Amino acid sequence: MSAIGGHILKIGELVATEYDGAVTDPDAQARALAAESLAVNDPTGWFERLYVAAGAGTAEVPWDRGAANPVLTQWAQQQNVHGDGRRAVVVGCGLGMDAEFVAAAGFATTAFDVSETGVRTARERFPDSAVDYRTANLLDPPAEWRHGFDFVLESLTVQSLPPDYQRTATHHVADLVAAGGTLLVIAMVPSPADDGTGPPWLLSRADIEAFAYGGLESVLVEEIREDTSAWGRWRAEFRRPAGDPT
């Protein structure tokens, strides 16, 4: 994790940032911004505020790891994924690392995020990128994207929305998948330490299985955990039948 205008500190398992002598937990910062947005019935506004603060050097984006999600990269290697020019979309692309990986695998890639600042920052990070970065809201995606993509990546985005909005977001993700296309879902697995306070609002197995919506069929739902002390990850794959006319 990088800090702009701050110093990285490691306190046990907590990665924190020091700004002017004050230690700040990036997850706590995100939760505070989310709480302010939710107080005015705005479930997504906190993303923009977080990216603006990160650009000003007064916050950290907790999910900015500087590399593509390893669950994605391992899956792509195992499946020997090659895009061959087919269309892909990355949901909630953040600062672009997953989108760049998908594009490098040979997909004509669209990537979107609700934060204009996040999208602009991704473009600045990758000025020569072939990715089509867009600003869009998963809760109200462009109608022309429906069934428009051969590969859809949803990584940690639905879990960043409050539970009341997750089912709508899940259905919109599923609707992006074209006939014969594949959806890969990556999310954190709830643990006994999770008290339900978000973000993130973690997804149960039933929540993951709910991506099998509108004709999508479940191929695989698995829990990945390197050891008992680590946070687990859901990795789930769904497919729309090639002859699905919907």
Contact criterion met (CB below 8 Å) for 53 and 4: no
pLDDT in tens, 48-59: 999 998 888 887
Domain residue ranges of the chain, discontinuous segments joined by +: 7-55, 70-239
Pairing of strands 132-135, 149-155: unpaired
Is the overall model pTM greater than 0.95, yes or no?
no
> pLDDT tens across 122-149, in order?
999 999 999 999 999 999 999 999 999 9
Residue 80 tokens read as 């020997």
- CATH class, domain 70-239, is alpha beta
Q: How many Å apart are CA 52 and CA 138, to the nearest integer?
A: 20
Report the percentage of the chain scoring pLDDT > 90. 65
At 175-195, the pLDDT tens digits run 999 999 999 999 999 877 777
